[in-house]
Every structure is written in C-alpha cells, then in structure tokens.
Structure 1
Amino acid sequence: MSEVNMDNWQKKSADRAKLYKQWIARADKNKVLKQLPDLHEEAFEKVDCLECAACCKNYSPRFKTPDIKRISKHLRLRESEFIDKYLNLDTDGDYVVKSSPCAFLGADNYCSIYEVRPSDCYRFPYTDEDVLLKRPQITLKNASFCPAVYFVLEKLIQAK
C-alpha cells in the first residue's frame, strides 16, 4: 500500500468527498472493521492533534448526562451551574458548548479537562469504530476538518 500524501489534505479531501460517500456506501463492512484499528494507529503516528485541534476550535461534542456529571464534579460545580456556564441545547436536544473554540481548549491546544472529557471527545474521530461506516454524514464532515479521517479513508480506498 502506498503512502498517503498529507500535503494540502483539506483540498484533496473536499475534492474526493463524493468518492468517499460512494466508497462508504459500497464498502465491505466486515473487511473494513478489521482494518480500522491498525489504520487508526497509523493515522495517529502521522497526525498530531495538538498541532491541529480543528475539532475543538470549530465543533462541539455532545455532552451526555454522564459527561456532565463527571465534568461538573471535576470542576467542583453543580451540574446546573456547569450547564448554565458552558452549555446550550442544540436543535437535536443535545447539550453542546456555548462557543467556539471550546472553553476548555487552551492556547497551546491542550484540553483543560482532558482526563474527564466528554465521551464524544474521547472517541473522536471514530476512525477505529463502526461509526465510520454507520454514520457516513459524520464521517464525511469529519474528513473535511480532521487529517486522521482523511488519512484513514485514503488508506481504505487504496486497499480495496
């Protein structure tokens, strides 16, 4: 399998969005799921999240009830205080951060609540999960701003 050229990856990802969508629709799910753990590892040998942090700068995870309980306890706030200070309800009825970039993202791209971060943050960018195939809209959106998703999709397309 050839190397994935990461130069200008955002433009290449945008140019290939239609190809990605078609590929995901036709992918052999079992074959792909077996490949994901290794490709995920390989992607993060090439991509340093601390150099990018586009996810934290532009998007919000969902803050589910267990996340809210854990983070508010960590911050020594009542859950209602935490929600009032940091979160809004989105159109889907999910709690999300009030502003971008995320209030917990530092200037150095480190997360101040990393150890207790929301499960969506922990799992992002889903390149080692079936979400990659089961939720193509999410995968295509993530490929537009996350170099790891671009890398994994390119590797999967090469492997076919």
Structure 2
Amino acid sequence: MNLDFYKTQAIQKQKEHKKFLDWMKKKPPKNLDYTVQETHDEVFGKIDCLQCANCCKTTGPLFTPKDVERIAKHLKMKTADFEDKFLRTDEDGDQVLQNLPCWFLNEDNTCSIYDVRPKACREFPHTDRKKIYQINNLTIQNTVVCPAAFEFVERLQEKLEKK
C-alpha cells in the first residue's frame, strides 16, 4: 500500500472533499446512512488495515476513563500505573499515548490489546457512522492518515453525485 500516494491525493483533494461533505451536511440525501454503511463495507472489503496500520503509527487515540480501566485490568496493572507508563494528558486535557507508534502495535501490524482496545481505535476511521456529516472535519483529517477513509470519501462522492 502506497501511503505517500494516498496522503498526497488526500491533501490535493481536501478542498473538493470539504465542498462535497459540506453539501452533504446542508442537504443530506435520502437513505444517506444506508449509502454510508454500504460504501464503508465495500471499502473495507478491499482494503486490509493490517497492510497499513498508519493510524497506529502516526496518530494516537484518545483514552476514555473506561478504556483505561478496561485495558489496565486486561494487562493486570493498576490504573495509575497504566497511565504513568503509557499515557500523558494533552493540551485539551485528554489522555493520549506518550509516544508513537502505539505501544500495542505488533511488528505484523496486529494489536496486542485488540479485544480491549480503546473506543477510538474500534471506531476509526468513523466511516460507518450514522449522520456522518456531523464529523466532516474529522473525516477530512482521517483521509490524510487512512487510505480507507480517502477511498470512502471518493466512492461516496461518486455514488451521491450520480443521483
């Protein structure tokens, strides 16, 4: 997977994608949630995250208190010890990883805590969300990091412009 190609394409198409997503927000098409889910499923049927893992290498998830508790328990650690070892508080007051790539990313791009991973990781890149137009800025950001998010916006735009 050529990450540089996708990143370049995403940056070049940001204005076009933003315009499309803004249009979708102003006039949400009929059956949008269905079309979004269908498009998400198509994209992830062709793109294998294990070939990429760019999100795990370049962006850290936000850890909710429930995430911290669940993961610490899984690792048989005290919550405070888990936080001290792996997390920091960012400028927004959110708990995020101290360093990237993610501590839990294995060499084969699998996740060592996959079954208990943070909610942000489970939902990334958020392309199967209902009322997706509520997260347009996040979607644009994710196209630069995630080839699947880029392909999702491209395909969704293609589908909705045909209607």
Q: TM-score, normalised by structure 1?
A: 0.91
1:103 equivalent in structure 2:
103
- In 2, the alpha carbon distance for the partners of 1:7 and 1:83 equals 33
After superposition, the Cα gap between the structure-2 partners of 1:74 and 1:7, relative to the gap in structure 1 and judged at 3 Å, is closer
Q: How does 1:63-82 map to 2 (within 5 A)?
A: 63-82=63-82
One of 10, 13, 29 as aligned partner of 2:10: 13
Deviations 1:75-103 (A, max 9, x none): 00000000000000111111001100000
Q: How does 1:72-151 map to 2 (within 5 A)?
A: 72-130=72-130, 132-151=132-151
Secondary structure in 1 matching 2:63:
coil
Identity %: 37
After superposition, the Cα gap between the structure-2 partners of 1:53 and 1:7, relative to the gap in structure 1 and judged at 3 Å, is closer
CA contact (8 A) 2:20 2:157 kept: yes
- In 2, the alpha carbon distance for the partners of 1:9 and 1:61 equals 21
CA contact (8 A) 2:87 2:95 kept: yes
Gap regions ≥5 residues in structure 2: none
Which range moved further: 139-148 or 32-41? 32-41
- In 1, the alpha carbon distance for the partners of 2:33 and 2:49 equals 23
Gap regions ≥5 residues in structure 1: 1-5
What letter is aligned with 1:133? Y
What letter is aligned with 1:61? P
After superposition, the Cα gap between the structure-2 partners of 1:131 and 1:124, relative to the gap in structure 1 and judged at 3 Å, is farther
What letter is aligned with 2:70? R
Secondary structure in 1 matching 2:99:
coil
Question: When the two structures are aligned, how many residues end up with a matched partner?
Answer: 155
Deviations 1:15-48 (A, max 9, x none): 1100111111111335432211111111111111
After superposition, the Cα gap between the structure-2 partners of 1:79 and 1:9, relative to the gap in structure 1 and judged at 3 Å, is same
- In 1, the alpha carbon distance for the partners of 2:5 and 2:83 equals 38
